[in-house]
Amino acid sequence: MKRKVTKAIFPVAGLGTRFLPATKSIPKEIMTLVDRPLIQYAIDEARAAGIKEFIFVTSRGKSALEDYFDNAPELESTLRKKNKTDLLDMLKSTNMDSGAIAYVRQNKALGLGHAVWCARRLLGNEPFAVILPDDVIAAEKPCLQEMVEAFAETGGNIVAAMEVPPEKTSAYGILDIQEEKGPLVHVKGMVEKPAEGSAPSNLAVIGRYILTPAIMQNLNRMKSGAGGEIQLTDAIAEEIAQSNNVYGYRFRGQRYDCGSKAGFLQATVAFGLARDDLGPEFWDYLTRMVAARKAAQ
């Protein structure tokens, strides 16, 4: 089995109802953390991991995403004339080479497993990555890069994993642990959004996956699971029964749930503070604001 991962799927078909009214006219993935759209963080992480082909599973109303990755000749020529080379370089770094990016439509919202399955014809018989752009991970070494390296060593299916509080397990895919092997966790079961009190652990799946072609074959059978949706978790769990070849990867870094408003705000503060150009002033503002609020209490 070839252990180089060069293709990644980005499921971006969701309606983003939690961010209405903003998402009435812009895709959630274009919403900005400081000054970069959510999707740019996912793309940068994929590139750092050696991904060369980017497959977007989209839906109606997502054309702003396609434009975002395209060249912007008028904007570029204006910046060139004004000698704004920094901005020009930054803009160019968001362009995708012709043929490096593909879009496939998910024409019915049947779940994450179904979204991934929609990309099957673009994958061939190779391992592939899946990145959920809602999960933004700040890390010294990008999470997917760590996982790709682990995959080169061990093969198998690898999902990013993180401990969550017991009362939150019902919001995630949860791993049933067989054996801990450093950051890798050999898994003996996996359940999507377990009912409260029934989770096999509190080790949750976070939105980064390295998957083998067998997962696509499992998805071909399309059984609906939790919430009546076709779940990626179920297709991976099936693989445990068939090959016992599924691992969790305890990544290093801070994960932000940018699918929720609270998580998005937290990420905005963290990324703002981490910026050389904004951090000091922002820190000043935050400390003054916190002090004022405390004094008013």
Contacts to ligand G1P by CB under 6 A = 112, 132, 135, 172-173, 192, 204-207, 232-233, 259
Instruction: Determine phi and psi for 142, rounding to 5 degrees.
Output: -55, 140
Give 8 or 206: the residue with its C-beta nearer to ligand G1P.
Answer: 206
Q: In angstroms, give the least distance from the CB of 148 to ligand G1P.
A: 19
Query: 109 in helix, strand or coil?
Result: coil
Q: In angstroms, give the least distance from the CB of 80 to ligand G1P.
A: 41
- Quote the CA–CA distance of 244 and 189 in Å, as a whole number: 9
- Work out the burial of residue 18: count CB atoms within 10 Å of its CB; fewer than 13 is exposed, 13-18 middle, 19 or more buried: middle
In sign, the C-alpha dihedral spanning 246, 29, 202, 174 is negative
Q: In angstroms, give the least distance from the CB of 23 to ligand G1P.
A: 15
Give 79 or 206: the residue with its C-beta nearer to ligand G1P.
Answer: 206
Q: In angstroms, give the least distance from the CB of 143 to ligand G1P.
A: 12
Q: By Cβ distance, which residue is nearest to ligand G1P?
A: 173
Give 99 or 228: the residue with its C-beta nearer to ligand G1P.
Answer: 228
Q: In angstroms, give the least distance from the CB of 132 to ligand G1P.
A: 5
Q: DSSP states of 52-96 as a string?
A: -EEEEEE-TT-HHHHHHTS--HHHHHHHHHTT-HHHHHHHHTT--
Give 55 or 130: the residue with its C-beta nearer to ligand G1P.
Answer: 130
